[in-house]
Amino acid sequence: MFIVTKENIIPYMREHIRDFDDTESVTVTVMGEDPDADEGENDGHINYVFKIVSPVRSYVLKQGLEDPKNLHSGTSVAAYRNEAECDTLKILHYIVPEYVPEVIFQDRENHIFVLEYIENLRAVRFQLIKENQIPNLGMDVGNFLARSSFYTSEFFLDRARFRSMQTQFENTELRQIMEDGIFLDRFGTDLDKEAYHKWERFRQITDDPACQTNRLSLRRTFMTHSDCLIHADFHTSNVFLSDDGLKMLDFEFSFMGPFGYDMGYFTGSLIAAYCAACFKDYPTEQDRQQCKAYLLTTIKMLFESYNRTFIECWNNDAKEEYRNQEGFQNILLKEMLQDSVGYTAITNWCRTTDIWSLPEYKVIENEDARRYAMAMAVLMDHEMILQRNSFETVDDFIDMIIHFENTYVPLLMWDR
């Protein structure tokens, strides 16, 4: 197998990329190793990702290997993830080209693909941490998710193509990481409880039977519903702001999964940012309130944009048997909302209690304030899991968040 290095990448590009021009100076950078790069330009921590910059055109080359860099000993991620990611990028660039970069070349034998390079990428997560509000973030993400999910679903695709995609994008090995790591491994374990060892109330809710029942119900849906092609790791570090709009990257976990999971995962990142905003320092209280209002507005726009776009796609392009079935459409959208809220809670809970603390909490300098923010996130997740089936609209979800904060923040401060 050919292994790409900084030394052999230019001859490789010259051989495989027809318009590659190295007659002038070409710069090769290994992503994740550039100390001057923005935090969110590209993680580059697991995969081998190279940026190739020339005066004529620039590229990103990504290679998936059986031994990913910077993972703990004993961790193995199959190299076939590279092929699945590339195929996903091709499909989604066709459906939503404004949000997904173009694949220029694919080398299946060596688990390599080459993408167009997009200038000035900045991860949405770090922009939000810096209090940089991104206009239309919720609208754009909702539009992307609705179009990508509808046009890879059985509501649009003919049966043979839909079944073929279910087989092609099964991604068994990587989705198992989600099925267990997100839904099982964290909850009720010593690691889960250790994060809040000073707080007795948290230890009590981790073993709540109603919470466990709902969590396993969501896991069952996650494992058995192959509704559409999903990203499956769709947090704010995998959504990037560029000079011409948002770009979605890092699709290596993609598989055919349930409607609502990507919505929930992305919303979980916004909930983490909201809980951090309740406790971290701001120049003024007005700045805090503006940040919180922006995050709630983004959540509302996300769900409303998704519903509006999904209905538009449905009305224009659904197969005949579904075209005028408004009642079924309404049932489906309500189910998506309630499942999304559940996935919001599950993914945020898991990431909040992870041994690698989320960046949203790391910027809170005061240790007690940081602990309060993380505890608030998990308590809110618990409330979401229990209440999700009562939500009729996204406004019900927003109201719950506001009511929860007003009710429980004083209780979180009891041991200050």
Cβ atoms of 98 and 116 within 8 Å: the answer is: no
- Given a cut of 50, whether residue 70 has pLDDT beyond it is no
Percent of the chain with pLDDT over 90: 70
Digit-coded pLDDT (tens) for 83-136: 899 999 999 999 999 999 999 999 999 999 999 999 999 999 999 999 999 999
The reported pLDDT for the residue numbered 353 is: 80
Burial 114-127 (b: 16+ CB within 10 A, else e): bbebbeebbbbbbb
- Mean pLDDT calculated for residue range 295-303: 98
Closest CA to 57 of 9, 20, 31: 20
Average confidence (pLDDT) over 191-196: 50
> Dmax over Cα atoms in the chain, in whole Å?
67
Among 405, 380, 372, smallest CA distance to 198 is for 372
Confidence of residue 38 (pLDDT cuts 50, 70, 90): low
- Inter-residue contact 313 to 146 (CB < 8 Å): yes
What phi and psi values does residue 342 have, to the nearest 5 degrees? -65, -45
Position 287 confidence tier, pLDDT thresholds 50, 70, 90: very high
Q: What are the residue boundaries of the structural domains of the chain, listed by start?
A: 9-19+26-116, 122-412
Which has the higher per-residue pLDDT, 189 or 178? Answer: 178
- Assess whether the region 9-19+26-116 and the region 122-412 belong to the same CATH fold: no
* Segment (H or E) for 81: helix 80-95
300-317 residue pLDDT tens:
999 999 999 999 999 999
Q: How confident is the model at residue 175 (pLDDT cuts 50, 70, 90)?
A: confident
Query: Mean pLDDT in the chain?
Result: 89
Q: Please state, in angstroms and rounded to a whole number, the distance separating the CA atoms of residues 376 and 278.
A: 9
pLDDT surpasses 60 at 404:
yes
Q: Which of 175-184, 287-296, 342-351 has the lowest mean pLDDT?
A: 175-184
Q: What is the DSSP string of 125-185?
A: HHHHHTT---TTHHHHHHHHHHHHHHTTSTTTS-HHHHHHHHHHT--HHHHHHHHHIIIII
Query: What CATH fold (topology level) applies to the domain 122-412?
Result: Aminoglycoside 3'-phosphotransferase; Chain: A, domain 2 (3.90.1200)
Average pLDDT over residues 9-26: 92
β-partners of residue 255 are 230
What is the pLDDT averaged over residues 370-391? 92
Tell me what the mean pLDDT of segment 198-215 comes to.
Answer: 76
Confidence of residue 72 (pLDDT cuts 50, 70, 90): very low
pLDDT of residue 398: 98
pLDDT at position 346, please? 95
- Tell me the mean pLDDT in the region 260-267: 98
Report the top-level CATH class of 9-19+26-116: alpha beta
Stretch (H or E) spanning 345: helix 326-352
